[in-house]
């Protein structure tokens, strides 16, 4: 246990070392240790798809332990989609199985001469020939590996055809619909000629105080299952957000041109549950079972079963691309999962192309003959197929939106909504000030799982948020007052959860009745014997976020990159809060207050004092030497 | 109706009015289990309610999406939304 394995794919060598106690204490695991390793393994010149990039896999400190929802793990690398920090967390059973097989972190270096998959089992790592997997979809790839290894309990994280062809927003998948989705980690894996990682192990993870952990787990289980957040997600999963955004006017429609569409009532979570859902599944040790399993008859009459969908796909192809029928949504969702395309990027790219088509920026000569009309089934599927096959307009967007915009010209880049190069998601949060700030400052680019202050949508009384965050946050979502505290709190808690391997759906990120930092502290102490105060644990999250910020600063990023998409400065046109927009002056003042709270200067650069307080002086000095005086 | 995944122990709860927040006007109002629908007294919007437990209800959607969207459009263009 507590092992980090470095796999040199070029030399086919595996080196195993202990994770130093100091590194554990400062970064815990998962995204935390990954961020530290990534910062030191690459630099601002590293080509994301070159052999110099590394692909890191990290399990959370608590992943695989008998604690509620201890399932999460992270892949990290320099992103081929954005060119800077790449990192994606996922659930399922893979992270736990890697720990049972004897490893906490894997570091993949260089590039294998021929396609391989890694077989991680019982303290060993083997490189196995993967050439026979070339024609297979993701679910077939996983089944083939399990069959080959003679054990259906093997857990597999794999890339599909999109990752093997290095589509820059390809993801890594596990089971039918568990994804490490964002920032193109599947493309990095494909560039290394690693097509899958299979894991199986029988080890028992050591627990410092089993009786205490059992008691803590029981308490947390009861706390979770009595909360309204749990009740909602265990019924609807993330689809609860589909109806919320549609009714409250932050739906994000037609590539964020509208905040409320007039799509039919078919686009409703209850319609999906009633007509298409056949079961629910859960990640390792999770009581929620938020994952849907669906069955759908496609247009060609074939019947298929798939995992999901999540809100990102339903709202993305629904509101954003205008497809208000579940068959189209589910077919597109399943195709992405089969091929290994990141659904959030897929919906954003498709909606972007549809707006370009609507505005006459592109025509059928550019799209390989596709008529990209809103909501059109053939248009959506055509874009996805062209991307995986790297032909037509798909060949352009497979290289990322920046490449595609340059190739298209005619101001195409103005219609792509992003932060730091990563597409924003389907919901339109311009009326939620802490969420806009979090979107702008998010360390991997636009991301709801890093910095979305979800509680802002519930109009909670200030007394509740003061008890939670230490500062009263106005219940009015449109207020800018004190929202910097909400965003910093969210960013630190999310970083902490990712380092622990805890699911955010079981945390106060989603609902005040769920687990907070105090509960995380109790679980860490019972499981590992490591003692932290609540403040010290929050500081770990702070440290991770600052380390990620240093990564961005080294890439040349600063205040100019902490900006919401241009469309957010335009007013909402529909719904209960029509007229709401991001106002430039108060937003910039909010950003100033956020920087001050973080201990960053006015340009968003961490100050030496702030870095010293977090023990990041060495990294600050490295960035200063790379970027010049005044940069840390 | 959608399947009910509520754990047995979570189904125990006092039956009485619970507070809901209208998704159109954000005003709070009360509804009582097992009413499947509720109308906001402030703005008049009618909502479909899902009861996870007798004391834990949630607004899921408007009773009629088309009407709701038409009223939203009317409000945005200066109308009363009626």
Distance CA A40, CA A7 (A): 17
Q: Is A207 exposed, middle or buried (0-12, 13-18, 19+ CB in 10 A)?
A: middle
List A57's β-bridge partners, or say none.
A75, A106
Q: Nearest C-alpha of chain A: how many angstroms from B73?
A: 6
Confidence class for position B10, pLDDT limits 50, 70, 90? low
Nearest to B69 among A262, A273, A289 (CB): A262
Distance CA A489, CA A427 (A): 21
B61 lies in a domain? yes
As a dihedral over the C-alpha atoms of residue A272, residue A274, residue A277, residue A278, rounded to 10 degrees, the angle is -170
List A127's β-bridge partners, or say none.
A118
- What is the count of residue pairs from A and B with beta carbons less than 8 Å apart? 86
A308: Cα within 13 Å, side-chain hemisphere: 28
* Chain B residue at shortest CA distance from A240: B60
| Residue A78 DSSP one-character state | E
B71 lies in a domain? yes
Interchain contact, A578 vs B75, CB within 8 Å: yes
CB A84 within 8 A of CB A162: no
pLDDT of res. B74: 80
Interchain contact, A287 vs B7, CB within 8 Å: yes
Distance CA A579, CA A592 (A): 25
pLDDT at B82 over 60: no
Cβ-based contacts of B68 with chain A (< 8 Å): 247
Cβ-based contacts of B66 with chain A (< 8 Å): 262, 264-265
- Report the relative pairing of strands A3-8 and A105-109 from DSSP bridges: parallel
Cβ-based contacts of A246 with chain B (< 8 Å): 61, 65
pLDDT of res. A577: 83
Distance CA A150, CA A440 (A): 47
pLDDT at B63 over 90: yes
B79 lies in a domain? yes
Q: Nearest C-alpha of chain B: how many angstroms from A260?
A: 8
Give the mean pLDDT of A491-514: 96
Distance CA A310, CA B20 (A): 25
pLDDT of res. B7: 58
Q: Which of residues 33-72 of B touch A (CB under 8 A)?
A: 48, 50, 52-53, 56, 58-62, 64-66, 68-70, 72
| Residue A291 DSSP one-character state | E
| Residue A594 DSSP one-character state | H
A275: Cα within 13 Å, side-chain hemisphere: 13
B25 lies in a domain? no
Cβ-based contacts of B21 with chain A (< 8 Å): 458-459
Which residue did the predictor score with more confidence, A338 or A627? A338
How many residues does this entry show for chain B?
82
| Residue B12 DSSP one-character state | -
Confidence class for position A465, pLDDT limits 50, 70, 90? very high
pLDDT at A349 over 80: yes
Give the mean pLDDT of A359-366: 97
pLDDT digits (tens, 9 = 90+) for A554-591: 999 999 999 999 999 999 988 778 899 999 999 999 99
CB B9 within 8 A of CB B35: no
Q: Give residues with Cβ within 8 angstroms of B46, minimum separation 6.
A: B37, B38, B39, B40, B62, B63, B64
Distance CA A169, CA A504 (A): 23
CB B40 within 8 A of CB B26: no
pLDDT of res. B8: 53
- Asked if residue A419 has a cis previous peptide bond (ω within 30° of 0), the answer is no
Q: Give residues with Cβ within 8 angstroms of A21, minimum separation 6.
A: none
**A578–chain B Cβ distance below 8 A for any pair:** yes
B24 lies in a domain? no
Q: What are phi and psi of A402, to 5 degrees?
A: -65, -40
Confidence class for position A8, pLDDT limits 50, 70, 90? very high
pLDDT of res. B81: 52
Number of domains in chain B: 1
Secondary structure (DSSP) of A110-176: S--SS-EEEEEETTEEEEEE-GGGTT--HHHHHHHHHHHHT-TT-EEEE--HHHHTT-TTB-EEETT
Q: Nearest C-alpha of chain A: how many angstroms from B50?
A: 9
Interchain contact, B23 vs A459, CB within 8 Å: no
pLDDT of res. B25: 85
B50 lies in a domain? yes
pLDDT of res. B75: 74
Give the mean pLDDT of A532-549: 98
- List the single range of A31-35, A224-228, A594-598, B7-11 with lowest mean pLDDT: B7-11
Q: What is the CA radius of gyration of chain A?
A: 23
Best of A231, A282, A571 to substitute, by most chain B Cβ atoms within 10 angstroms, is A231
pLDDT at A190 over 90: yes
Dihedral sign from CA coordinates of A6, A42, A494, A466 = positive
ipTM for the complex shown: 0.85
Complete domains list, chain A, with CATH = 3-200 (3.60.9.10), 234-423 (1.10.569.10), 433-513+533-627 (1.10.599.10)
Helices (H), A453-583: 462-469, 483-500, 517-528, 534-554
pLDDT of res. A574: 84
Secondary structure (DSSP) of A387-440: HHHT-HHHHHHTT-HHHHHHHH-TTGGGG--EETTEEP-SS--TT-HHHHHHHH
Mean pLDDT, chain A, integer: 96
**A260–chain B Cβ distance below 8 A for any pair:** yes
pLDDT at B11 over 60: no
Confidence class for position A394, pLDDT limits 50, 70, 90? very high
Give the mean pLDDT of A363-382: 97
pTM, entire model: 0.96
pLDDT of res. B71: 86
CB A553 within 8 A of CB A545: no
pLDDT digits (tens, 9 = 90+) for A288-297: 999 999 999 9
Nearest to B76 among A226, A231, A573 (CB): A573
pLDDT digits (tens, 9 = 90+) for B14-62: 567 899 999 988 889 999 999 999 999 999 999 999 998 888 899 999 9
Structural domain boundaries enclosing B53: 35-82
């Amino acid at each position: 246990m507590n092992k980090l394995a470095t796999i040199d794919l070029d030399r086919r060598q595996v080196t195993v070392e202990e994770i130093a106690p100091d590194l554990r204490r400062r970064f815990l695991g998962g995204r935390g240790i990954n961020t530290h390793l990534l910062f030191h393994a690459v630099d601002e010149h590293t080509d994301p798809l070159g052999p110099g990039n590394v692909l890191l896999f990290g399990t959370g400190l608590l992943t695989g332990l008998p604690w509620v929802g201890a399932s999460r793990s992270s892949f990290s690398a320099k992103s081929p989609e954005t060119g800077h920090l790449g990192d994606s967390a996922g659930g399922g059973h893979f992270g736990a199985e890697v720990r049972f097989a004897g490893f906490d972190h894997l570091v993949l270096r260089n590039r294998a001469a021929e396609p391989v998959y890694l077989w991680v089992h019982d303290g060993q790592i083997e490189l196995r020939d993967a050439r026979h997997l070339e024609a297979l979809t993701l679910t077939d790839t996983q089944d083939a590996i399990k069959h080959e290894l003679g054990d259906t309990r093997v857990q597999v994280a794999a890339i599909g055809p999109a990752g093997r062809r290095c589509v820059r927003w390809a993801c890594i998948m596990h089971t039918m619909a568990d994804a490490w989705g964002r920032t193109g980690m599947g493309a990095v894996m494909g560039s290394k000629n690693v097509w899958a990682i299979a894991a199986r192990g029988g080890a028992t993870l050591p627990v410092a105080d089993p009786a205490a952990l059992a008691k803590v787990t029981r308490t947390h289980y009861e706390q979770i299952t009595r909360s309204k957040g749990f009740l909602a997600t265990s019924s609807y999963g993330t689809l609860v957000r589909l109806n919320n955004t549609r009714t409250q006017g932050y739906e994000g429609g037609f590539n964020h041109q509208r905040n409320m569409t007039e799509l039919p009532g078919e686009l409703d979570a209850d319609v999906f549950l009633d007509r298409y859902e056949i079961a629910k599944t859960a990640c390792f040790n999770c009581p929620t079972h938020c994952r849907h399993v669906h069955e759908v008859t496609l247009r060609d009459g074939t019947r298929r079963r798939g995992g999901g969908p999540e809100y990102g796909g339903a709202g993305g192809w629904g509101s954003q691309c205008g497809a208000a029928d579940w068959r189209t949504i589910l077919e597109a969702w399943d195709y992405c999962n089969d091929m290994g395309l990141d659904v959030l990027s897929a919906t954003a790219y498709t909606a972007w192309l549809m707006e370009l088509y609507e505005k006459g920026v592109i025509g059928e000569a550019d799209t390989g003959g596709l008529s990209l009309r809103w909501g059109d089934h053939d248009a959506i599927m055509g874009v996805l197929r062209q991307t995986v096959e790297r032909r037509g307009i798909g060949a352009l967007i497979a290289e990322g939106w920046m490449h595609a915009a340059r190739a298209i010209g005619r101001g195409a880049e103005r219609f792509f909504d992003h932060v730091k190069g990563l597409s924003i998601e389907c919901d339109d949060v311009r009326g939620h000030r802490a969420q806009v700030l979090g979107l702008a400052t998010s360390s991997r680019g636009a991301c709801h799982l890093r910095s979305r202050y979800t509680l802002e949508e519930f109009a909670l009384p200030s007394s509740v948020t003061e008890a939670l965050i230490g500062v009263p946050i106005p219940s009015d979502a449109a207020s800018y007052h004190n929202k910097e505290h909400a965003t910093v709190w969210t960013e630190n808690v999310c970083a902490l959860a990712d380092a622990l391997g805890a699911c955010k759906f079981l945390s106060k990120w989603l609902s005040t009745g769920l687990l907070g930092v105090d509960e995380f502290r109790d679980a860490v102490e019972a499981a590992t014997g490591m003692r932290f105060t609540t403040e010290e644990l929050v500081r770990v999250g702070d440290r991770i976020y600052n380390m990620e910020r240093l990564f961005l600063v080294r890439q040349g990023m600063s205040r100019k990159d902490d900006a919401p998409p241009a469309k957010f400065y335009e007013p909402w046109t529909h719904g209960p809060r029509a007229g709401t927009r991001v106002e430039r002056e108060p937003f910039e003042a909010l950003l100033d207050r956020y920087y001050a709270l973080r201990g960053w200067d006015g340009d968003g650069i961490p100050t030496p004092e702030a870095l010293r307080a977090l023990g990041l002086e060495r990294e600050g000095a490295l960035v200063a030497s790379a970027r010049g005086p005044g940069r840390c | 109706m959608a399947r009910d995944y509520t754990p047995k122990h979570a189904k125990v709860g006092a039956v009485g009015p619970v507070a809901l927040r209208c998704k159109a006007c954000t005003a709070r109002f009360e509804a009582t289990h097992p009413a499947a629908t509720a109308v906001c007294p402030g703005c008049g919007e009618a909502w479909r309610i899902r009861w996870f437990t007798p004391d834990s209800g949630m607004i899921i959607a408007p009773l009629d999406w088309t009407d709701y969207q038409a009223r939203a459009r009317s409000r945005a263009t200066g109308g009363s939304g009626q």
